[in-house]
Copies of this chain bind each other. A is one copy, B any other.
């Protein structure tokens, strides 16, 4: 019935590239990659938005846990907060060392892999990937929380809002890193500024005796009476939740390569700025919350006096309302900036995740597609994977911040700890190397300086490793049964997958590597042109096969019905085709089977090693045309390619429909037309030789 051809559309609908351009901007050349490096003032908001924005929820979650024990527990709040700040300082100092030693952008992953081996490296990578996903989910959930605190009418669309925000961030990020940074710098600075003003205003009001009072100050909390052991556990849990303020600090270390030169100095300076600002904001917000006596409960129905069918305002909203007055303009500025910076914090992950993915792909632990830069110099595939994963998490947890935060931080502290332990190993190795240096005066002096620096690094990272490991233990104990077990499941699974991917690539590489068995000299090649009906696409395929001057060229017909075969043989003689037509019977209406049989028999008789099967293939202009063409050729190609020594040559036949769309015409112009292939009116495709 139909010719032995199948259809092939262009890479998508013709509109899609235009839509892509509008959404994502014009493609960028590789040489411009340097121009896209970030100056400090841009890098700070990009890499710091995660760490800074986490102060929007860390105090809230910390105080929430303390309040679960009763009002009296708030007395511990300053101490818990101090512990968190201390930890933050230690981590910042540790990461300054790490940036200096490993500026290539792999961060904890690279440190762990280089110093501790493959498995710890992969574990760190898995932990970080999980945490990037959770960063997006937690930041978005908290951002939506703050939007709803300002506009409670949006409460029914909490999940939809969160998912929509993630989708928006993905699109913005696919546009490329610099546009993203520009858009993201302003809200981060507005957030830091407005929270600063709020804290200062609140403290000043307290100093003049008009301390702000939160709307929730007079609610009565149902306190559980708890034992002494539970007191300690409660404090530790509060500390664990407060530690969420630390998330995002590692982002700078993972993104050193995105900084403008001098990369290392700029990255370290940015890290210190980030640490300072985060410390001030965290301490200020906790102080303000204690002064204004904010009450925040995991289950808002525990707050006597609060209508728990309405959304509970976030800590940030309560503070802003208490300081500036509810529904005042500064209140809305603080809420808008908080929501923005939280949503944009998700953006940090969209810088870090694809970079880490690309590093993993480069090292062979992740699919190579993650190391493919898109048109706009960003690792598009990684961003899409991250966006989808975050949306799934948000849907599963219904964008509930307090539940999501239970999964959070584990990954961060896994990578913190392994990274710091790796750094200890790094400095010890460095010191050993210096010791083994030759006994030269000048070298000794320089080695002396280096040894000092290494020893300092060793001391700082040892402290960091000890403290972060201790915190990891605390976090694990206090959060495991609250949902964190899921993370402990995800990290080994991801690690195992990565090891599997690595082994797979290694095997494929081994299989395809050049070795002594590689020789040339295949011979006895034969070309088979598959023919179903004598039509122009078949003639074109035949013409091309003849042009390639194979040793032997045969036309092959699989006969399913007798009428068709007879008609073909008649037409073949009539048009005096220059190649013999071989007809093979197919009792089971299979097309590939008899062809494979024929190739097998032909080889037995002629000892041919290379068989080239020519398949005409229609190129169509519209997706729906594919429905109207058989997929027979495609299926045939897939089956024939499983036979050793067979190659498939696809000879495209552009239908008029495809030509119209791509602005060309194939209908042969009388007198000008030539040999099977359509002529084209444009000069640059029309270079077929004129000799006949």
> What are the interface flags for A675-691 relative to B under an 8 Å C-beta threshold, 1 for contact and 0 otherwise?
11110100011111101
Is A549 touching B546 in the complex (CB atoms < 8 A)? no
Per the bound structure, the CA–CA distance linking A35 and B656 in Å amounts to 44
Given contacts A2-B368, A548-B525, A612-B548, contact A511 B667 (CB under 8 A): yes
Per the bound structure, the CA–CA distance linking A512 and B513 in Å amounts to 44
The answer to whether A608 has its CB under 8 Å from any CB of chain B is: yes
The answer to whether A649 has its CB under 8 Å from any CB of chain B is: yes
The answer to whether A478 has its CB under 8 Å from any CB of chain B is: no
Binds B, one of A94-102, A218-226, A532-540: A532-540
CB distance from A405 to the nearest CB of B (A): 32
Given contacts A637-B650, A650-B647, A687-B608, contact A692 B511 (CB under 8 A): no
CB distance from A520 to the nearest CB of B (A): 5
Given contacts A2-B368, A30-B560, A644-B685, contact A512 B535 (CB under 8 A): yes
Q: How many copies does the complex hold?
A: 2
For residue A513, which residues in chain B have a CB less than 8 angstroms away from its CB? 535-536
Is A668 touching B505 in the complex (CB atoms < 8 A)? no
The answer to whether A652 has its CB under 8 Å from any CB of chain B is: yes
For residue A643, which residues in chain B have a CB less than 8 angstroms away from its CB? 685
Per the bound structure, the CA–CA distance linking A249 and B654 in Å amounts to 46
Is B656 touching A652 in the complex (CB atoms < 8 A)? no
Per the bound structure, the CA–CA distance linking A372 and B6 in Å amounts to 14
The answer to whether A362 has its CB under 8 Å from any CB of chain B is: yes
For residue A544, which residues in chain B have a CB less than 8 angstroms away from its CB? 522, 525, 610, 612, 647
Per the bound structure, the CA–CA distance linking A590 and B630 in Å amounts to 31
> What are the interface flags for A535-556 relative to B under an 8 Å C-beta threshold, 1 for contact and 0 otherwise?
1110100111011111100000
For residue A589, which residues in chain B have a CB less than 8 angstroms away from its CB? 30, 373, 375
The answer to whether A13 has its CB under 8 Å from any CB of chain B is: no
Closest B-chain residue to A603, C-beta based? B687
Per the bound structure, the CA–CA distance linking A507 and B666 in Å amounts to 13
Given contacts A8-B641, A514-B534, A652-B646, contact A519 B674 (CB under 8 A): yes
Per the bound structure, the CA–CA distance linking A548 and B609 in Å amounts to 11
Given contacts A514-B539, A642-B652, A644-B678, contact A11 B635 (CB under 8 A): yes
Binds B, one of A53-61, A387-395, A621-629: A621-629
Given contacts A10-B638, A11-B635, A662-B642, contact A523 B607 (CB under 8 A): no
A-B contact pairs, 6 of them (CB 8 A): A30-B561, A501-B628, A508-B618, A512-B535, A642-B652, A648-B649
